[in-house]
Structure 1
């Protein structure tokens, strides 16, 4: 990395694997010296995350001769056609069962969260590898059943926690491990802002469809990173404004072995998105969507660390899908951090208290 002053800125598997009466590549295996055949991918869910990120990633992998999108399914025919217009080798399917009968090696599950477990487990039962967009499931228990199904089937299951692929995330882990800012004391997190994700229906805001609000949406990313950096936490407090619906704001306090982390997630509050790690000798400041830079403050001087092998958000998305098709564990980490994050979210929901909203509740404390 370099610093500048003042910035804050399949190969065909010879062991033939039968699935549904056909032979299939095992994307978990690759033996050096033999050519890798294109991994055949099926996509379930053609919404915003597929249109924005998975389609460009699939195009990049096709161009590199690594994978090919074979078939897609979404209940919305227009959404399916939009994806197939960009990846014309793929065919549309009338149902998820139809998708499973295509000649595939891996299913990419990008459907609404309440469909993740059933679709993933069905694909694993067919002998397919699965890459599932976050949140892996509607609860930690449901996610554990998915992981158990993958282990029983002997197939890879990866989760779309793309931030693990950011060089900035890996740099923060290294700085904390080496004690560059001294003894870590606190972590302050704010993430969110006025909601602008291009949803196609009100179902996005349904607890039955999504499992929750901003905590279920942003929480898997935020908690997964914190747990990856600091270990598993103790929940001190969770407050939100759900009022019987889905929360637009959540405030969570976690304790990581004496390090207090205060996390604020919002879908309506416009303020800078930042992670601030305060140590005895300085602090690290990171904007969560910056893949290749962070700020380091030591002795009152702030320097922007720009990582030479950076890449943008789409590069990270492509890298995680490449890892999924190769069967390589993500950044040397298995499924446990993702499960721990979901377990923490479950605990937050179980113990949550109402957030003080004096503008609504007359006489409430500020």
Structure 2
């Protein structure tokens, strides 16, 4: 089940159309950087939201032609704006204009190679055309750009599974008596069949409520992995406040480009995602942070859960610099080390 982001700024929303071969493409929306209403779940909000909010309202109302006209009007005066260009790609995708959507996202990867979301959406569109080698290459670029981009990792797993399915099918065509390929192919097909049923269930659960009351799916925002109830001492105000303070200090160190404080917020046991060596990760972070003229990192809607000496912090991260404005969902897993809380795992996206 492939997941696309509706902008670097759309959060989970609804399932999309089925892709060839029975594989379902569930389109996950990250709220347009400047605006999606709370009815879509967690959203990302940035300054100067009006043009994005107008387009978002039209998209949510299903007025895609009007939304596309708005994006074209905006881009006529600000053709380089990455958020609006991304949103145009999303509208083209929703309108079934796949070739134009691919061109829009491909152009974004060329002009803003540091953004992983356009690569991810390219992969979803390629997968919808059964171009799985192209999808794999696009997802590998997304992960190289942001190793903690969880959605891209999940999608890459799906692409590998589809490629494996094709390879096993070919093996059976060439050798009908192959006793090893058949059960493997059956396993993969059953996996995606289960995914499809799960996606349909999620779609039904996420249907908008007909009344004004908040929809029940808000409950589904709880962590997928159950966490044992913490003791009152572990979840007390002091423990939670200490974690919140650690997260804010991490963001402030990043904003100040204070590399000793920023890197010091990560525990010695922190291992970057994607198998990257710690030394390489630190060098990459320095290269991304130090040259910027200005950086501001805001932590919004911070939600902290403490369980003994471990904690999880979930929030909306608003990153702005002299070259880029991006809002995303961020999760930090932390452990207590003496009187400090240090990051052991960092992930972006769903």
Shorter-chain TM-score tier? under 0.3
Which structure carries more strand by proportion? 1
**Relative contact order, higher structure (CA 8 A, sep 6+):** 1
Which structure carries more helix by proportion? 2
Q: TM-score normalised to the size of structure 2?
A: 0.25
